[in-house]
A and B are shown apart, each in its own frame.
Chain A
Amino acid sequence: MAVRTLVVWCPDWPVVAAAVPPEVAVAVLSGGRVLACSEPARTEGVEVGMRRRQAESHCPALVVIDHDPGGDARAFEPVVAVVASFTPRVEITQAGTCSVAARGPSRYFGGDAELAARVAEAVDVVLGGAGTCRVGVADGPFAAEQAARLGRGIVAPGASAAFLAPLPLATLGSVLPDARGPAPRAARAPGALADLFGRLGIRTLGELAALPPASVAARFGPDGAMAHRLARGLDERPLSTRTPPPDLTVTAELDPPVESVETAAFVAKSLADRLCARLGELGMAVTCVGIEAETEHGERLSRVWRHRGGLSAAALAQRVRWQLEGWLTGGSDAGPERPSEWDVGEASTAGITLLRLVPDEIGPDRGSQDGFWGGRGAGAERAGRALARLQGMLGPEAVTLAVVEGARGPAERTHLVPWGDAPPSNLSRSTTPTVVQRDKNRRGRETPPWPGGLPPPAPANVHLRPIHAEVVDAAGTPVGVTGRGGSTGVPSRVSIAGGPWFDIAAWAGPWPFDERWWDPSAHRRRARWQVVTVAGTAHLLVVESGHWSVEATYD
C-alpha cells in the first residue's frame, strides 16, 4: 500500500522565483530551451521545451531569464518552512514541489480535505500573491503530484490507480526523478520510453497498467517496470525527507536578574557545559556562536564570536564572561567618549534576565593535535586568551590581524581580519599554491606581482585618512596632471595639512592610475607621486581631480 502523501506544487516556480511582475511575458531558459514561462507568455504561444528563437518568434516582447537553480531553491525555502510547520519531515522533490506524509497530520487536522485547505492557505500567505499553489493528496507521491497538477485535490484512499488510468503516458516523463538528469540512463529517459509506448499503441497509464508486470519488466527493463508500478498507483518509494536540524540553542532564565559579572559568569559556565556536552554527543564543535542576553529593561544584547578551531566549554565560558564584563561594567564608563563610528557595541543598563547561547556554525569536531616540535605553544595560548578578552571589551573589529593582498595602492593592499576569524578564502587563491607551500608563515611577502602596484619599499605609515596637501611649482601655480598623464609643471614646494611650505628636494611621478573605468560608480582617475622634502621626509602623494593628498609617509 502506497504511503498517503500530500504534495504542494507551485506552478511555474522558476518564474515565481525570478520575482517579475505577473503581467510581463517571461521565459526561464535552461540549456537553450524554455524551462518555464509566465501566463502572458503562454497565451502568446510560448511552450516549455521551445528553443529561445522559437519562443521569441511567438512573443517578441518576451523577457528571457537564465535559470538559477540556487535562487529557485532559496526562494522555495519559506514555502518549505511553512509546510514543515504542519509536519516536520518535508521532501523537496524539486524547487516548486514538496511532499509530506499525510496520514498523521490528516488525522490531527480532521481529514485530508481540511489539511489540504490549511496547507494551501498557509502557503498562499507566504507567497503573498507572487504565485499560486496547488495541493494534492493521494496514495503515493506520484499520484499526489498528478492530483496537485491537475487540480483534483483529494484522491480517495485506494482510488489512485483509477485516478491515474485516464492520464496520458507523457505524464511519466515529467515525474521520474532522472527525467532531465545527466544520469547514464538519460539516453533512455522516461520521455523516450513514453514515446516508445506511444508507438506501440499504449496511450494512457491505464492501458500500461493493464499489461502483465513480468512481461513489461522483461521487455522494457527496470525503467519499464518502474513506469508500470507508477501507472498502477503502487508508488512505494519512501519519501526522502530531510531531518530537521537539532535545536542546539541553550537558554538560562535568571530570576532574580543578575547584576554581577561573577554570578552571570557562573551561569554562563553551566550553559557552555550544556552546549558542549550536547555538541559532543553529536561529534560536532562550534566555530561560531552567538551570545545573547536580555535585560530587565527589555534590551537585547548580542554578539557573535568566531573561532577557527572550535571552542571548548572553558573557552566558550570565558568568552561569555568577557562579553558580560563588557556589557555589565565596561560600557558605562567609557561610553560618552566613544566616537560613534566605532561599533563598540552596547552596554546594559539593568541586570540580565536571560542568557542564551546560539551556535551559528558548527562543524565536525576533528580535534586538535599539538605539534611535537613547537607549533602553537604556550605563548600562542596566552596571547590568544588576552586578545579574545580585549575583543570582548573593545569589539571584534578592534583586534585584527593584517593580511597583505594584491592591489595597487598601499591602503588597499592591507586586509584586516578580526582576531579569531579565518582569513577570507579569496586571499589564498590570490597566491599560487607552490608559493604558499614554500613560505606558509609569511603570506604577503610572497604575493605574486601585481601589475601597476606601487614598487617596494612599502611606506611604513599609511594614513588612516588621506591628509590634504598642496603642491606648487617654482612660480607658485598649483601643479596638476594632464589627461595624458603628464604633469603641468615641475613640483617645487609642498604644504601638508595647511602647514608651512617645504621645498621639494626630489620627486618621481606622476604615475597615473585609471581604475575601474568599466564601473561608473567606482571609477577613479588618480596619479601618485613620490616626493622627498628638503627635510628628508618622503611622502606618497595622490592627486585626484586637482586635489592633492598625502596617502602615506615613508618614515
Chain B
Amino acid sequence: MPPSAGSAAQPAVRPSAHAGSSVDLAEVASRARPVVLAGERLLPVLPALRPLLPQGGLRRGSVVSVVGSTSLTLAMVAAASAAGSWCAAVAVGRPSLHPEAAVELGVDLERFPLVAALPGSGPGGWSWVVAALLDAVDVVVAWSSARLRRADARHLAARARERGTVLIVAGPAPCPNGMPAPSPNGIPAWPEAVDMRLTVVTSAWEGIGHGHGRLLARRVEVAATGRGAAARERHRVLWLPARGGGVAEAPKSEVSPPQDRSGRGSGRPDDPKPDQFAM
C-alpha cells in the first residue's frame, strides 16, 4: 500500500466509541507513517548504469525489461543485492545463469535464491511463482520462455506496484545459435508496456585474437527507453564486464560505428591490440 504523503502532522486522533479497535489503529498508523519520497523508493544500481535510468536507480514497484544479455540483467540487480536487498531469479526449469558471473558483478549469492518454476500456468507455474516472490523479495529477476498472457502480466505488474518490488523481466533466453541480440521491438518478453526497457544493441569483445589471448572485457552499447521521464531513448557504452570484473562506463568516443559490429579488436588481425599479445 503506498503510504499517504503529507498527512503526518495531522493531530486528528479523536477518542471515539470505538477507540482502540483495530480499524481505528490501522487508520492512525497509516496517517502517522512517515512520508516517503520517490527518491527514497529507489533501489541502488551500479554507478555505471545510473545514467541509463532517469531516476538514477531502480524505482520500487516498476517493471523493467532487459533484452539480449544475461550479464546486463545480473548487473542491474548487483548493487541492490550488495546493499542488502533480497533478489530472486526464476525460470521455467532452472535459471541458466552462472552464479560465478553474478558474483563477479557483485551479486551476493546468499540473498539470491534460484527458483525453478513448473511449465504451464497452474499453481507452481511461472506466473504463480513470480507472484509469490513479488510478495517476498525486493527484486525478482524472471526469465520468460513462453508467451505470457496479457491479463497475467497486468496482474503481476499491479502486484509489483503494490508491494514495492522491482520485477526485472529478462528477455527470452538468448538464441544459442549465434543470432544477434533481438531488436528492441522484437520478441515480446512482456506483452504489456514496461516502465523501462534496456537493450544491448552492439557488443564487442576485447582481448581475444586468432588463436591467442582470451576473452577479457566486452564493450556493449545499451539503449534504454521507457515510460514517462524515460521516454527519451538514452544510449550508453559500457564495459560489461570490464577488465578485472564489474561494470564501467566506456568513453563515448570509443563507440564502434554501427556497421562494424563484428567485435572490434578481434576481427582485424592486421591491427592487433597490445593486449592480444599480453597473454
The docked-state distance in angstroms from the alpha carbon of A340 to that of B104 is: 35
Contacts of B122 in A (CB 8 A): 333-334, 337
From residue A145, how far is it (CB to closest CB) to chain B in Å? 55
Q: Which of A509-555 contact B (CB under 8 A)?
A: 509, 530, 532-539, 550, 552-555
User: In whole angstroms, how far apart are the Cα atoms of A403 and B112 in the complex?
Assistant: 10
Interface contact B211-A508, CB-CB below 8 Å: yes
B residues 157-214 near A (Cβ < 8 Å) are 173-181, 202-205, 208-214
B77, chain A: closest CB distance, angstroms: 13
Contact assessment for A402 and B125 in the assembled complex, using a CB-CB cutoff below 8 Å: no
A337 to B116, CA, bound (A): 15
Cβ B180 vs Cβ A535 within 8 A: yes
- Distance in angstroms from A452 CB to nearest chain B CB is 14
Known: A401-B110, A410-B98, A537-B203. A463 touches B263 (CB 8 A): no
Q: Could you say which residues of chain B place their CB within 8 Å of the CB of A382?
A: 86, 135-137
Residue ID in chain B nearest A399 by CB atoms: B115
Residue in A394, A500, A502, A539 whose Cβ sees the most chain B Cβ within 10 Å: A394
Give every chain B residue within 8 A of A496 (Cβ-Cβ).
176-178
CB distance from A187 to the nearest CB of B (A): 54
Q: How far is the CA of A403 from the CA of B98 in the complex (A)?
A: 10
* B68 interfacial contact with A, CB 8 Å: yes
Is the beta-carbon distance between A538 and B215 smaller than 8 angstroms?
yes
Contact B180 A401 (CB under 8 A): no
Tell yes or no: A507 within 8 A of B by CB.
yes
Q: Are B109 and A554 in contact (CB under 8 A)?
A: no
Contacting pair A553 B176 (CB below 8 A): yes
A309 vs B137: C-alpha distance when bound (angstroms): 21
Q: Which residues of A contact B173 (CB under 8 A)?
A: 461
CB distance from B101 to the nearest CB of A (A): 4
A47–B240 alpha-carbon span in the complex (Å): 73
In the complex formed, the residue of B with least CB distance to A461 is B70
- Residues of chain A within 8 A (CB-CB) of B84 are 374, 379
* B30 located at the interface, meaning its Cβ lies under 8 Å from any Cβ of chain A in the complex: no
CB distance from B60 to the nearest CB of A (A): 13
Within 8 Å of chain B (Cβ to Cβ): is A459? yes
Q: Are B178 and A532 in contact (CB under 8 A)?
A: no
A434 interface hit (Cβ, 8 Å)? no
Q: Would you call B70 and A394 a contact (CB within 8 A)? A: no
Contact B132 A390 (CB under 8 A): yes
Contact call B180/A386, Cβ cutoff below 8 A: no
The distance in angstroms between the C-alpha atoms of A344 and B71, with both chains bound, is 30
Distance in angstroms between the alpha carbons of A458 and B241 in the assembled complex: 9
B153 CB within 8 Å of chain A: no
CB distance from A7 to the nearest CB of B (A): 54
CA distance A389 to B138 in the complex (A): 17
Interface residue? A63 (CB, 8 A)? no
Interface residue A55 (Cβ < 8 Å from any Cβ of B)? no
Q: Any chain A CB within 8 A of the CB of B218?
A: yes
A189 interface residue, CB < 8 Å from B?
no
Most chain B beta-carbon contacts within 10 A, residue among A386, A397, A414:
A386
Per the bound structure, the CA–CA distance linking A72 and B123 in Å amounts to 50
A416 at the interface (CB under 8 A from B): yes
Asked whether B118 is an interface residue with its Cβ less than 8 Å from the other chain, the reply is yes
Interface membership of chain A positions 377-391, coded 1 if the CB is closer than 8 angstroms to chain B and 0 otherwise:
001101101110110
Contact pattern, A 110-148, Cβ under 8 Å of B = 1, otherwise 0? 000000000000000000000000000000000000000
Closest partner residue, chain B, to A391 (CB atom): B115
Minimum distance in angstroms from A377 CB to a CB of chain B? 8
> Are B213's CB and A457's CB within 8 A?
no
A180 part of interface (Cβ distance < 8 Å): no
Q: Is there a chain B Cβ closer than 8 Å to A1's Cβ?
A: no
- As a 0/1 sequence over residues 328 to 350 of chain A, the CB contacts with chain B under 8 angstroms (1 = contact) are 01100110011100101000000
User: When the two chains form their complex, are residues A330 and B124 in contact, meaning their CB atoms are under 8 A apart?
Assistant: yes
Q: What CA separation (Å) do A337 and B117 show in the bound complex? A: 12
Query: Within 8 Å CB of A344, what residues of B?
Result: 118, 124
Pair A441/B110 contact, Cβ less than 8 Å:
yes
Nearest CB on B from A443, distance (A)? 7
A334→B120 contact, CB < 8 A: yes
Known: A462-B98, A538-B218. A445 touches B209 (CB 8 A): no
A390 near B129 with CB under 8 A, answer yes
Contacts of A380 in B (CB 8 A): 86, 111
Give the distance in Å from the alpha carbon of A535 to the alpha carbon of B99 in the complex: 25
Cβ of B56 under 8 Å from chain A? no
B129 adjacent to A394 (CB under 8 Å)? yes
> Is A499 positioned at the interface, with any CB of B under 8 Å from its CB?
yes
- Please report the C-alpha to C-alpha distance between residue A534 and residue B208 in the assembled complex, in whole angstroms: 13
Q: A458-B100, A461-B98 are in contact. Are A535 and B261 (CB under 8 A)?
A: yes
The residues of A that contact B215 with a CB separation of less than 8 Å are 457, 508, 530, 532, 538, 554
**Which segment of B16-24, B89-97, B225-233 sits at the interface?**
B89-97
**Which B-chain residue is minimally distant from A403 (CB atoms)?**
B109
- Among B138, B210, B217, the one with the most A-chain Cβ atoms within 10 Å of its Cβ is B210
Q: Does B114 contact A (CB under 8 A)?
A: yes
A371 within 8 A of B: no
List of B residues within 8 angstroms of A339 by Cβ: 119
A398 within 8 A of B: yes
B133 interface hit (Cβ, 8 Å): yes
Question: Which residues on A sit within 8 Å (CB–CB) of B267?
Answer: 505-506, 534
Q: How far is the CA of A195 from the CA of B114 in the complex (A)?
A: 69
Query: Are the C-beta atoms of A532 and B98 separated by less than 8 Å?
Result: no
Q: Which residues of A contact B208 (CB under 8 A)?
A: 506-508, 530, 532, 538
Chain B CB within 8 A of A103 CB: no
Assess whether A215 is interfacial by the CB under 8 Å rule: no
Decide if A457 touches B101 in the complex (CB within 8 Å): yes
The distance from the CB of A139 to the nearest CB of chain B, in whole angstroms, is 62
Complex Cα–Cα for A334 and B121 (A): 8
A505→B98 contact, CB < 8 A:
no
Closest Cβ of chain B to A402, distance in Å, is: 4
**B residues within 8 A CB of A104?**
none
Contact among B86, B88, B178 with A499 in the assembled complex (CB-CB below 8 Å) = B178
Instruction: Give the complex CA separation of A509 and B215 in angstroms.
Output: 11
Say whether A31 faces chain B, with CB atoms less than 8 Å apart: no
Assess A390 versus B99: contact at CB under 8 Å? Given A401-B110, A457-B241, A496-B178: no
CA distance A402 to B129 in the complex (A): 19
A386 with B132: CB separation less than 8 A: yes
Are B118 and A338 in contact (CB-based, < 8 A)?
A: yes
Bound form: Cα–Cα A292–B122 in Å: 25
A30 is an interface residue with CB less than 8 A from chain B: no
Task: Show 11 A/B contacts (Cβ-Cβ < 8 Å), sorted by A.
Answer: A337-B119, A337-B122, A339-B119, A383-B111, A386-B136, A390-B133, A401-B110, A444-B100, A462-B97, A506-B213, A535-B261
Known A499-B177, A533-B178; further 18 A-B contacts with Cβ < 8 A: A334-B123, A338-B119, A379-B86, A382-B86, A383-B136, A410-B100, A464-B96, A490-B211, A506-B210, A506-B266, A508-B209, A532-B208, A534-B261, A535-B180, A536-B204, A537-B174, A553-B176, A555-B70
- Which 5 A-B pairs have CB atoms at the shortest separation, nearest pair first? A499-B177, A386-B136, A506-B266, A402-B99, A460-B70
